[in-house]
Amino acid sequence: MLAPNYSAADYLRALLAHLPRGRVWPRDSETSQVKTLGTFTPAFERLNARANNLLVDAFPSSTYELLPEWESTLGLPDPCAGEAPTTEQRVAQVVGRFTATGGQSIAYYTAVAKAIGYAITITQYVPAQFGMAFGMPFGGDDWAFAWEINAPTFSINYLSFGGSFGTPFASWGNNVLQCELERIMPAHTILNFSYSD
């Protein structure tokens, strides 16, 4: 349920309805008293709109004006977003960090990638063992700690309605994905990226 937006005219009617009764309290729009009250109501309308916008802006996924506060709280911006990230990329990073609960499962890392705008799959490997089928990856014990991120060569992020002015209609690349996953990967693991068309 959205909070109501009241206009200056709504506030003027409310003020007039609360005036005492009598001849010294006219309600005619041409009187000095009503004109004076009318000078306050645009400020009330603006404050009402700003308060309602705060309800929207307080959530990470829809924030704009409070984005710097969210970033400061979550230790952002960081090098993962590049030198000049768009507002949408910054919001995606805030959402990704805010919703990251920690974990080491494939589902967790896939969800982290999705939160920052990337669709990936993950392949896990095992060390070579006697009796393995032909065609399986071959290697030493390090393969027990290796996992592969499968992503498109270029993940395209399109500008959505309400995006920041001056940003391109689309941007592509996987630098943010690599940086974010390398930042949260367990220290003992080996992370490989595999890009396909």
Cβ neighbours, 10 Å, residue 33: 14
- CA angle 171/155/160 to nearest 5° reads 50
d(CA 42, CA 184): 49
Report residue 81 as tokens.
């977003």
| Helix or strand (DSSP H, E) at 194 | strand 190-196
Name the one residue in this structure whose structure tokens are 């993962």: 80
102-129: pLDDT as tens digits: 888 899 999 888 888 888 999 988 776 6
N-term to C-term CA, the chain: 43
Whether the per-residue pLDDT at 164 is higher than 60: the answer is no
Give yes or no for residue 66 having a pLDDT over 70: yes
Nearest to 144 by CA among 189, 185, 186, 194: 189
Q: Which residues lie across from 196 on neighbouring strands?
A: 152
pLDDT-above-70 percentage for the chain: 81
How far is the C-alpha of 82 from the C-alpha of 173, rounded, in Å?
11
Q: State if pTM tops 0.95.
A: no
Classify residue 141 by its DSSP letter. G
φ/ψ (deg, to 5) at 16? -65, -35
Q: What is the pLDDT of residue 172?
A: 47
Query: Is the separation of the CB atoms in 57 and 63 below 8 Å?
Result: yes
Residue 64: what are its φ and ψ, rounded to 5°?
Answer: -140, -60
Strands (E) in 94-189, as ranges, are 121-124, 146-152, 156-158, 170-172
Q: Say what the pLDDT of residue 1 is.
A: 57
Closest CA to 90 of 61, 113, 47: 61
Q: What is the mean pLDDT of the chain?
A: 82
